């Protein structure tokens, strides 16, 4: 096939698709196989948790800021804590931080905190914020061994020594 024939056939094929090749007539006369039956297996009378997707507050976003949270390229642990508390109360419309966290966590839960350590130590999930989340969980009496900080790749946590930034026992 020469270049001219290729271009001609490509144009004719494209025109054919454009002029009706995608319509419902394309499958006319073609017998499609019968789809297999769908068998759904699950727990009888299962009710999904309200904590599953889309969550308790679908689409709700809160924003908390404080110009004093960063001073001299360092995060203020005290102000980060206050910002997290304000954000949790605003998200849940609760009057206390404890009540806000209890909307999501029970003391018997095993809690996973997914971090992003891939740019550690300069650019990663804020250890200050992660420490405040852990502190809030411990205030609810979640035992340290039930709090798991993780990432997809363990070696990235090792490279940035992220585990040294966490409280003992977590």
Number of residues in the chain: 170
Token couple for 61: 């976003």
Q: How many CB atoms lie within 10 A of CB 143?
A: 13
Please state, in angstroms and as integers, the Cα–Cα distance from residue 151 to each residue in 128, 131, 155, following that order: 17, 16, 9
Tell me the pLDDT tens digit for each residue of 131-154: 999 999 999 999 999 999 998 888
- What pLDDT is recorded for position 25? 54
**Residues facing residue 162 across a β-bridge:** none
Digit-coded pLDDT (tens) for 6-53: 888 888 778 777 776 555 555 566 788 898 998 878 787 888 888 888
pTM score over 0.85 = no
Q: Averaged over 71-88, what is the pLDDT?
A: 93
Report, in angstroms and rounded to the nearest whole number, the Rg of the chain calculated over CA atoms.
27
Residue located via tokens 């025109």: 15
- Amino acid 122: pLDDT: 67
Going from N- to C-terminal start, the domains of the chain cover 70-165
């Amino acid at each position: 096939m020469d270049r001219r024939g290729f271009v001609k056939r490509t144009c004719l094929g494209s025109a054919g698709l454009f002029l009706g090749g995608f319509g419902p007539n394309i499958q006319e006369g073609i017998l499609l196989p019968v789809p297999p039956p769908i068998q759904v297996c699950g727990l009888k009378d299962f009710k999904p948790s309200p904590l599953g997707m889309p969550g308790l507050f679908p689409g709700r976003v809160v924003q908390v800021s404080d110009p004093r949270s960063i001073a001299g390229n360092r995060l203020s642990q005290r102000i980060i804590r206050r910002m997290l508390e304000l954000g949790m109360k605003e998200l849940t419309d609760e009057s206390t931080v404890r009540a806000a966290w209890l909307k999501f966590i029970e003391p018997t839960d095993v809690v996973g905190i997914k971090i992003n350590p891939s740019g550690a130590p300069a650019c990663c999930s804020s250890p200050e914020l992660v420490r405040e989340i852990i502190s809030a969980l411990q205030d609810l009496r979640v035992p340290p061994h039930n709090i798991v900080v993780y990432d997809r790749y363990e070696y990235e946590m090792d490279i940035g020594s992220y585990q040294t930034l966490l409280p003992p026992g977590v």
